[in-house]
Amino acid sequence: MDYSDLVDVYEKLEKTTKRLEKTHILAEFLKTVRTDSLPYVVLLLQGNVYPAVEEKKIGVAAKLVLKAIASASGIPHDKVEHHWAKSGDLGETAAELMGKKKQSTLFKTDITVKKVMENLRKLATLEGEGTVSRKVDLISELLTSATSKEAKFIVRTMLEELRVGVADGTLRDAIVWAYFGKEIGFTYNQKENDFDVKDRIKYNEYSDAVQRAYDMVSDFSEVIVAAKEKGLLGLAKSSLKVGAPIKVMLYPKAEDFKEAFEALGKPAQCEFKFDGFRIQAHKKDGKITLFTRRLENVTKQFPDVVKFVEEFVKAKEFIIDSEAVGYDSKTKKYVAFQIISQRIKRKYDIEEIAKKFPVELDVFDVVEYEGENCMNKPFRERRKILEKMVPKEVPFKLKLAEAIVTSSEKEAEEFYQKSLQAGNEGVMVKSLDAPYQPGRRVGGGVKIKPVMETLDVVIVGAEKGEGKRAGWLSSFIIACRDEDSDELVEIGRVSTGFKEKSEEGTSFDDMTKLLDSLIVDKKGKIVKVRPKIIIEVAYEEIQKSPEYSSGYALRFPRLVRLREDRGPDDASTLREVDVLYSKQRGRHK
């Protein structure tokens, strides 16, 4: 498939913020794509080069792309950089300058989707002496043969800043519309931006089948081939693969135990909610692999956890869901996530930092056990399996999450206070009948915390500081996720809560270094960054505001902590902000 065909779709998607219209555009396009091109196409539609479950990253920063644009266009580097600063979009800069390029190749061919993918993937394999030069050559090769429009999206893909709004839900629905539309009597009304189906039950069946398959493999490039080639049967054959991470089950917040029991029924299980980070532990053929909720492989960073799982989990094959919780080795008290978060990214001196920041693994769910998928088993059965898997609990190494089963609000409140006194965030309340369903707000449980709900927001930009903060980025533009448009929408700026020195906590210098390689656009003192970094923020109030694209602004936001265990998909949603706004101080919209 020619890359230009994909670029045409990018442009259509870029012109609309309407989720249903995006879904229709995708569905019509997917119908035309040959099976052998589908895996590449689906990844590129999401702005990815590799599936999320793979560890490989192309690792291209804006400075490297600047060199490649200069090389491919024949325009001096300083002029390319000046144009970038003026346009504020490196993709647009590439499009305009490649359109005016002073040099051209003797033999110019149309770029294919496969060629784009091959060159981009080669970037991830290069290392050693001369790596920068070879990466520039690979990028230049693509840009030299590209049209202006193609150059724009090649650059944006490399920088992981595609910005066409194709999220998981949109792609899932597009697959259903494309391959099962005839069977369900599907029609789309473009004028009204609405759709209808004659067989709603069958529509839900197909939608659930696509979602279940994706929950199993976390890779739409695999799911879409199964849907097109084998239909429902192919989707049903998508199965858990021990050693390949899945998306974890997440829970919304409840105000109190009365609300929790009303939502989940009685009795329910209350268990400690830890201030740690999520760990999926997989074991097969004697090999143990650890993944974060972002599907990152952190096995090497946690040799102590691997040892605990090997020693204390009695099964040959499994996937368990758990929380790694830090504790003070002297006082034996749990410590805040921020203290142990640096272990996630650590590549060196691992044994030393494991001793300095020890963790306990608290296991609370099982997804696969001895070759059997446990996701559809009710929680009460999954808990019994866990009790069999972990017959001996060893505090400060590995144990089951402390829990009680109760119908009493009073007893639940007492357990809640016990959890807080132990240094935890609060409690989880779980339905005993619920299956394991990956994703947010799936109805199987809620969390109860003692403070006004903080927000997990994405840093999408920043402003350079002045005075004593000169040389640092010091004001950070933050955004939440709009589920309807599948886009990030700004909700304010945060500049407080950061420290002047790294030893005191997350500093301006830390954030500047963290964001430097993520800068994709800059205009004056403002830089735009890839939406990769999540921070947790507290605030005094949520206000209505036309200044930000979310329609809201956080009043006096302040950094609580850097969330290295979370990604953009984990960001708080606009709907959640809307609910919090309506609840605060008893005020309603």
Between the ranges 325-334, 392-401, 502-511, where is the mean pLDDT highest? 392-401
Residues 6+ apart with CB under 8 A from 23: 170, 173, 174, 177
The reply to whether 273 belongs to the active site is yes
Least confident among 289-303, 440-454, 497-511, 541-555 = 440-454
Provide the token pair at 327: 């504790």
Note the pTM of the prediction, 2 decimals.
0.82
Residues 6+ apart with CB under 8 A from 489: 479, 480, 481, 482, 548, 549, 550, 551, 574
254-267 mean pLDDT: 94
Determine the Cα–Cα distance for residues 360 and 349; give it in Å rounded to an integer: 20
Q: What SS3 state is found at 197?
A: strand
Residue range 274-310, pLDDT digits in tens: 989 999 999 999 999 999 988 889 999 999 999 999 9
Q: What is the pLDDT of residue 109?
A: 60
Residue range 363-401, pLDDT digits in tens: 999 999 999 999 999 999 999 999 999 999 999 999 999
The mean of the pLDDT values for the chain is: 90
Least confident among 221-235, 240-254, 504-518, 572-586 = 572-586
User: C-alpha angle with apex 331: 330 to 332, nearest 5 degrees?
Assistant: 95
Q: What is the pLDDT of residue 460?
A: 95
Residue range 101-137, pLDDT digits in tens: 644 444 456 799 999 999 999 998 888 888 889 999 9
Contact 581, 552 (CB under 8 A): yes
User: Active site residue: 273, 377, 430, 447, which one?
Assistant: 273
With cut-offs at 50, 70 and 90, classify the pLDDT of residue 2. Answer: very high
Determine the Cα–Cα distance for residues 381 and 402; give it in Å rounded to an integer: 17
Q: What is the pLDDT of residue 376?
A: 92
Residue range 161-180, pLDDT digits in tens: 888 989 888 999 999 999 99
Provide the token pair at 338: 């921020």
With cut-offs at 50, 70 and 90, classify the pLDDT of residue 349. Answer: confident
Domains and CATH numbers, the chain: 257-448 (3.30.470.30), 455-586 (2.40.50.140)
146-168 mean pLDDT: 91
Q: Is the pLDDT of residue 517 over 90?
A: no
Q: What is the pLDDT of residue 153?
A: 96
Q: What is the pLDDT of residue 539?
A: 92
